[in-house]
Amino acid sequence: MIALTLSHITSVLGGTLRLAGTDTPETVVDGTVDTDSREIGPGGIFVAKPGETTDGHVFVGAAVAAGAALAIVERPVDADVSQIVVPDAVTALADLAREVVAIVRAEEDLRIVGITGSNGKTTTKNMLARILESQGETVAPRASFNNEVGAPLTMLRVRRSTRFLVSEFGASGPGEIARLAGLVEPDIAVVLMVGMAHAGGFGGIEATFHAKSELVRALRTGGLAVLNADDTRVRDMAPIAAERSGTVRWFGQAPEADVRAEGIEVTASGTRFTLTADGQTLPVTLRVLGAHHVMNALAAVAAATALGVTVADCVAGLESLELAERWRMQPLGSERVRIINDAYNASPDSMTAALRTLAQITAPGERMVAVLGAMSELGEYAGEEHDRIGELAVRLRIPRIVVIGAEARRMFISAISEGSWSDEAVFFPDADQAYDYLMTELRDGDRVLVKSSNSAGLRFLGDRLGESFS
């Protein structure tokens, strides 16, 4: 974090300052801000956030032992560290992030990009960050730090030397993106797609549209909206950008897209396509598996070129990225048995894309195996969407379908109803039983997709299989 005095921070947070040791209101702090005491280092600021299963106040002592110079708390704690007592620690975290970014933006040339969408946020964030890192100091979220805690923590890593801030905005309900994006008012708002992910929390696809459009509404006046030309709902966000006196830059495969892809070819080693942007046409080879990641790459290029990066530098950045993120289309195992661990997030759209990728990268003589778990946060749509995925797996002629967990059982039933007989589709209540089965079933030449939402825990099964066949 940038250097601020204790009195300045207290004023921003509207809290009460309790000094410790030799500290005064003019004592300056500039360490890393975190809600996890294990991530605190010398001079750090620990935010004691109450949680569902534990309370951050219990860990103030551990944070002090690690070198914390300040604790932001909701009640005073018996610890030898200066404390700012606030009504709500999460609100305080957001207020501090807003202030830090505003100060740097006012004094330096900081450009801010916000990214949202039902799928692809983290991959796009990583692609854009990789491109921008070659141009100047870039701050981007670790993993999927995109919620009410993760987004402000990322913003608080901004320094006066930071040139680019890439923020990823996720949400499970209306208003969340508006609150988070409102902290920084991005110069560029990237919207990838509007799909069924989190539809249960939003209340349907139209409500999802309104939630994702909150990022465009949060644009800085005169900013740029980078929108998916192939998604009709995202296209409908163009008038919202106009309300902010903003302009639109389109990406996609549509002929009218400003940044577009042609000739997409998916292989087991990566994805190739021809990129057209800013009047230039260049070949691109992504090491990230799956045709769906081409759209993420186009979005990253559209944002980066708007920030002044050359198309050639964009391609170099994209081609240097070996993995989108751990547990996202992550190749494991060996050429003998290849495991694709994509079990960190799952929605109907990403599940469909992953299954199609499995079919595309499996060569003649090799066998497809789909290991599938539940898609979470679909609410009333859960049953029909799990049915649809089970049916799709059969229609893609996947000869081994392994469904795990009670919440995913309808995939198994639908696969059988669609024609997956004679043990082609099997069901197991938990991952351990599925692992035992797979260790006897998998054979040389198998290409295995492990796909589920994070809550299903199949990412760990994917890791186990990857290690077993490495």
Give the mean pLDDT of 357-385.
93
pLDDT tens digits, 237-266: 999 999 999 999 999 999 999 999 999 999
pLDDT tens digits, 139-187: 999 877 889 999 999 999 999 999 999 999 987 778 999 999 999 999 9
pLDDT confidence of residue 204? 75
Question: In 108-229, where does DSSP find H-type helix?
Answer: 121-133, 150-155, 176-181, 199-202, 205-212, 214-217
pLDDT confidence of residue 202? 60
114-139-58 Cα angle (round to 5): 100
In whole numbers, what is the pLDDT of the chain averaged over residues? Answer: 94
CA–CA separation, 139 and 157 (whole Å): 7
Question: Is the pLDDT reported for residue 203 higher than 80?
Answer: no
439-271-164 Cα angle (round to 5): 110
Give the mean pLDDT of 91-97.
98
Q: What is the pTM of this model?
A: 0.89
166-49-374 Cα angle (round to 5): 65
Read off the pLDDT band of 39 (50, 70, 90): very high
pLDDT confidence of residue 123? 92
Question: Per DSSP, which regions of 278-343 are E strands?
Answer: 280-286, 330-333, 337-342
Enclosing H/E stretch for 195: none
Domains and CATH numbers, the chain: 4-89 (3.40.1390.10), 108-320 (3.40.1190.10), 330-468 (3.90.190.20)
Read off the pLDDT band of 199 (50, 70, 90): low
pLDDT confidence of residue 56? 94
Indicate the annotated binding residues.
117-123
pLDDT confidence of residue 173? 77
Give the mean pLDDT of 19-45.
96
% the chain with pLDDT above 70: 98
Indicate the annotated binding residues for ATP.
117-123
DSSP β-bridge partners for residue 18: 83
Give the mean pLDDT of 309-318.
98
Question: Is the pLDDT reported for residue 201 higher than 60?
Answer: no
Give the mean pLDDT of 352-376.
95
pLDDT confidence of residue 313? 98
User: Under DSSP, is residue 339 helix (H, G, I), strand (E, B) or coil?
Assistant: strand
| Phi and psi torsions of 407, nearest 5° | -70, -20
Read off the pLDDT band of 277 (50, 70, 90): very high
